[in-house]
Amino acid sequence: MKSTFFSKLVNNPFQDPILYVRFRREKDAVMFDCGDVYGLSVREIQKISDIFVTHMHVDHFIGFDNVLRCLLNREAPLHIYGPRGIINAVAHKLKGYTWNLIKEYPLKIEVCEVRKDILQRGSFHATQGFNHIVGPVTAFDKIIMIKEGITVEADVFDHGIEVLGFSLHEDTQININKALLLERGLTPGPWLNELKAAIRNNSKDAQLNIDGHYYHIEELRGLAMITQGQKIAYITDISPSEANIKKAIGLAAGADTLYIEAFFLAEDVERAHKRNHLTTAHSGYIARCANVINVEITHVSPKYITMLDRIKLEVKEGYPPCGSLRAAPSMS
């Protein structure tokens, strides 16, 4: 079955971690973290509708200025989700520039600050000189975005500061049986998206217009093949505490692909605790316990720049393909 989205790491494991997700047949894309974005084209940046920021260390947030510059004249808003302090961080970024020539620009930046039990929102509109507009406070219970069959969840982790981890998954994956479509003499068209939406919304009485003829949804439901949607998780810059690892396993559970840091070698576990990062052993253990299908390594310390094969091997040893059980790596 074809997924509705494609994901890729923008930079190599020793550079700023960024995950770019493009949606099939849609104009939108989303991005996890906003560090060095020079690996993205202007066209790719202009597709970004939502940015999910783990925290505001420079290697995770310095690319905001480049994204802003590419989107200034865009009608569609930019949504940013981040941890405690993200609203002030965006406000201060925007205050670093002079905006006397942008009052005719349409861009709106909508920011959502994720805390342990609430979501605080704030807005910055070009027409108002990007001054901070205080938004509402709502309850937070894992889900931060639901849009067109896609759900994004977050959890709050410890990195010496509050940081976020994320998962993104399709509610269902709906594909059309093209052979059956042709067999029934039906012409592909926009109505197929309407059919998928009706199925996804569990509509019982939808009527679809196909070349001037109206069909009840039950006449067309058999054209669709429904499977479990794809899931990815993105976890980086968390301390190797038991609480963090338990949360990471829960957030990544059942993911098709887990994008996870492996900042230190297993032998450097003491340094990992001091710097609040995961080792290769921790990353492999999380992947195995979460029962993920594939692991992609991101955010490795540059001190290991000649040792990537060893990094990958240690993660794989913690996440054996045979699924054999092993003891958890030391958390202390």
| pLDDT for res 106 | 95
**276 phi and psi angles, rounded to 5 deg:** 60, 50
Token match 């920011």: residue? Answer: 111
What burial class does residue 43 get, using C-beta atoms within 10 Å of its C-beta: 0-12 exposed, 13-18 middle, 19+ buried? exposed
Mean pLDDT of the residues in the chain: 92
Cα(147)–Cα(155) distance, integer angstroms:
19
**64 phi and psi angles, rounded to 5 deg:** -55, -45
What is the tens place of the pLDDT at every residue in 236-282?
999 999 999 999 999 999 999 999 999 999 999 999 999 999 999 99
What is the tens place of the pLDDT at every residue in 51-78?
999 999 999 999 999 999 999 999 999 9
Quick one: which of 3, 94, 5, 8 has its CA closest to 298? 8
Cα(210)–Cα(214) distance, integer angstroms:
6
Structure-token pair, residue 141: 């219970």
| pLDDT for res 267 | 97
| Percent of the chain at pLDDT exceeding 90 | 73
**331 phi and psi angles, rounded to 5 deg:** -95, -5
**Helix and strand totals (H; E) in the chain:** 11, 18
Output DSSP code: residue 329: P
Token match 């038991």: residue? Answer: 242
